[in-house]
Amino acid sequence: MRGLPRRSTKNSSLRSKGGMARSRLLSEVALQTQQKKKLLLMRRKESSTNPSLASQKQKIFCR
């Protein structure tokens, strides 16, 4: 009988950990998308101000 409550607590802790991991993954994905958007905005600004620099950077990224 003693083992049963321990198992239940373990399961609950595991569940909470899984939830935390999921939230962490989601936050990481959100951060990555934000960074990509920033990069795109920077590239657009560069292309509008200095087209030659932007084209060089695009070539580097394509490789």
pLDDT, tens digit (0-9, with 9 covering 90-100), for 2-37: 555 555 555 555 556 666 777 888 888 889 999 999
Lowest mean pLDDT segment, chosen from 42-46, 47-51, 58-62: 58-62
Can you give the pLDDT at residue 26?
83
Dist. CA 39–CA 31, nearest whole Å: 12
Say if residues 55 and 44 touch (Cβ distance below 8 Å). no
Task: Supply the DSSP string of 15-29, one letter for each residue.
Answer: HHHHHHHHHHHHHHH
